[in-house]
Amino acid sequence: MKRLVLFFFFITNVSAAQTYLTESGNVNFLSKAPLNEFNGVSDKLNGLIDLSQNLLDFYVDLNTLDTGIGLRDKHMRDNYLETEKYPFAEFTGKLSPIPTLNSGTKSPVSAIGKFKIHGVERQIEVKGTLSKNARGELELVAGFDILLSDYKIPVPKLVFYELAEKQEVTIKATLKPKK
């Protein structure tokens, strides 16, 4: 019985050591329209990487996006993202393949999964790098493009609010081991 308890304790600790979390990752979207280029940023990206289950789950409250112009933010939230109805953007997926992470070495990674925004969910691939730092934390940098029409988000036509159909999304996060 003592061995069984020790085995369970070991498996539980190994599993926990394979799970990493963040509540302060950075998400950035870049809109490059012909007459108007701007970024929307949030440092409220929440995420989980569970290497033992090969699970990724990241989400951001779209109400935390800041473009630097309050009126543009309000119109973006109210008229286009409809954040009262669809407050979050989320990606859930799996790494393909699961990288071997050595401290100080960046590994290229690819994740396949579902991205959901504005009530629409689509299968996408996200490419990036993943590394383990000296403190045992994971550092993730990744990016992908989305087309607003794929997610039924209308593109405003007014020059002041001009928005590109293609949005370039990047994320940066340091994930700490779950304790």
For residue 48, what are its two tokens? 């989980």
User: Distance between CA 148 and CA 120 in Å, rounded?
Assistant: 11
Torsion 9-14-17-18 (CA) sign: negative
What DSSP line would sit under 114-159, residue for residue?
EEEETTEEEEEEEEEEEEE-TTS-EEEEEEEEEEGGGGTPPPP-SG
pLDDT digits (tens, 9 = 90+) for 66-123: 999 999 899 889 988 999 999 999 999 999 888 888 888 899 999 999 999 999 999 9
CA separation for the pair 163, 43 (Å, rounded): 22
Report d(CA 31, CA 41) in Å as an integer: 11
Give the pLDDT band of residue 5 (cuts 50, 70, 90). very low
pTM for this prediction: 0.85
3-state secondary structure at position 164? coil
Q: Distance (Å, rounded) from C-alpha 165 to C-alpha 162?
A: 10
Residue 158: predicted pLDDT: 61
H/E stretch holding 24? strand 19-33
Q: How far apart are CA 14 and CA 23, in angstroms?
A: 22
Instruction: State the pairing for strand pair 120-132/19-33.
Output: unpaired
Please name the helix (run of DSSP H) or strand (run of DSSP E) that holds residue 73, with its range, or none.
Answer: helix 70-75
> CA Rg, the chain, in Å?
19
Q: What is the pLDDT of residue 14?
A: 38
Q: What is the mean pLDDT of residues 2-30?
A: 65
Give pLDDT tens digits for 131-149. 999 999 999 999 999 999 9
On whether the CB atoms of residues 48 and 56 are closer than 8 A, the answer is: yes
Domains of the chain, CATH where assigned: 19-177 (2.40.128.110)
Average pLDDT, the chain: 87
